[in-house]
Amino acid sequence: MARFVIPQLIAGLSHRIGHDDAVRNARAELELADHRVDQADDLIRRVEARTQAHADHRPRHAA
């Protein structure tokens, strides 16, 4: 009986370990993507602030 159960048990554990690794990797990728989104948001805010600062200092031309 054990001769048949052990390979199935090992296969099940290998599948589970592979699944756990995939989930762990996906979570890590999600965290990295979330960090990149935060960095992009910060960059957008800095560019908008710089653009506004330059617009405030630009001389207005008479029409």
Report the range of poorest mean pLDDT among 1-5, 17-21, 41-45, 46-50.
1-5
Does 2 score more than 70 pLDDT? Answer: no
- DSSP-based helix, strand, coil % in the chain, nearest 5: 90, 0, 10
At 26-58, the pLDDT tens digits run 999 999 999 999 999 999 999 999 999 888 877
In the numeric block, which tokens belong to residue 63? 């029409």
Query: pTM of the prediction?
Result: 0.60
The pLDDT assigned to 11 comes to: 80
